[in-house]
Amino acid sequence: MTRKLSVRLICDQDHDWSLNYCESVAPAGVLRRYSRSRRRCAPYGHPVRPLSALRRQLFIDADATSALFRQQLDALPATQRRAMMASKHNYVAFYSRAKDAHLAVSRETGTLLYMLVRAINARTIIEFGTSFGVSTLHLAAALRDNGGGKLITSEFEPTKIARARANLAAGGLADLVEIREGDALQTLAQDLPETIDLLLLDGAKGLYLDIVLLVEERLRVGTLIVADNAEWRKCVSEARG
């Protein structure tokens, strides 16, 4: 039952982006039913790399860079590691160490994000923590299949912003996304949509509550708030005593 529901949410319309995304998660039978969409894999006549292939490669790359970053973290004293992860003031130091790491959502979380956006027919999304844009791609693909919308995401590391923009361009989704460079406490403090349909928290863990409070006035009844890396909460609590 869950499998059938997942496929329906992702492929319920004959959209190019549904198929491009579905190629990596849907059964072959579903793809055959939607095969005619393959002829139109780029809106506005712009050739793009199929999103499923881009998604697959990004996760392969993310596995490699994340493994290396975990090794670097494990080499730090436990108290220092926990303090860096939980800090509300020195998070820049922690994430500067990770400027070459994707720090991407998992494959399953990416699929879930897509499904959530599709299920609630979201049109406005705020993302805290762009990194290389892996979660951003999933969110934007769902917006495309919803008929359009606006995704505002924030990242302070310039090299990651450049990579994220390149990935979004490769996926043909750049027109749906605004990447704001700098501290999210500043970049997300103004010029937001009237209402927010979904808020994704995937940046500095110590700032999650601050970000929610920052955008609280824009949250509507039914807004979805998704916080990734919930398993880090113990580290945050321990570091704060």
Digit-by-digit pLDDT tens for the chain (241 residues) are 333 333 333 333 333 344 344 443 333 333 333 333 333 333 333 334 468 889 889 999 888 887 777 777 667 777 766 666 666 666 666 666 667 776 778 889 999 999 999 999 999 999 999 998 999 999 999 999 999 999 999 998 899 999 999 999 999 999 999 999 999 999 999 999 999 999 999 988 888 899 999 999 999 999 999 998 755 544 434 334 3
Rounded Cα distance between 113 and 226, Å, is 9
Calpha distance 198→143 (Å, rounded): 11
Nearest to 17 by CA among 55, 58, 60: 55
- The answer to pTM > 0.85 is no
Whether CATH 3.40.50.150 fits 107-240:
yes
> Any idea where the domains of the chain sit in the sequence?
2-51, 107-240
What are the tens digits of pLDDT across the range 51-81?
Answer: 888 988 999 988 888 777 777 766 777 776 6
Question: What residues form DSSP beta bridges with 153?
Answer: 127, 179
Of the candidates 96, 146, 99, 104, the one whose C-alpha atom is nearest the C-alpha of residue 122 is 146
**Nearest-angstrom CA–CA distance, 37 and 25:** 16
CA dihedral for 109, 205, 154, 210, sign (positive or negative) = positive
